[in-house]
Amino acid sequence: MNSFLIESGNRARRPAVLYPFVGSKNTQYFKDIEVMHSLAETMVANRRKLLSDRPELKEKKDLLNALLLTRDEQTGEGLTDQLIIDNMITFLVAGHETTSGTLSFTFYFLLSNPRTYRLAQEEVDRVCGRKKVTVDMLSKLPYINAVLRVRK
């Protein structure tokens, strides 16, 4: 994925006339796409098999089950495998640097501001304690929300 993203950036900056002259880069680029695509394809096939062997796992609330099992309320249609695979790759690309970047900066600024760190920790201890963090807890974490939205 990283070499695909780097080359995607380079392709956007590279004049189209140079395309035929960067053969090995083109080959690697499409090889990277194929690796991501076939991995996602395997994950979809594995999950489909798992769900047919163990239907009770259809209750599991995760992103892959949502992509596989959700049906349009009006048409009753589900996503095609191609759309599921494209979304899986999009989520991976869109969700990895953003999340890791946000967490890195957040902890950098919390460590640089001990009082803020303590107040954030107190809020998490108060709202979540040792329990598994659930969606309904998020609206009860205004201080953490403010910390994530701070811009220097």
Give contact residues for ligand HEM (rule: CB under 6 A).
Answer: 90-91, 94-95, 98-99, 102
Shortest Å, Cβ 47 to ligand HEM? 17
User: What gap in Å lies between CA 48 and CA 94, rounded to an integer?
Assistant: 25
Tell me the closest approach of the beta carbon of residue 100 to ligand HEM, in angstroms. Answer: 9
Write down the least CB distance from residue 44 to ligand HEM, Å. Answer: 16
- What is the per-residue DSSP string for 71-128? --TTT-----HHHHHHHHHHHHHHHHHHHHHHHHHHHHHHHH-HHHHHHHHHHHHHHT
**Closer by beta carbon to ligand HEM, 70 or else 99:** 99
Least distance from C-beta 148 to ligand HEM, angstroms?
8
Least Cα distance to 106 among 46, 146, 66 occurs for 146
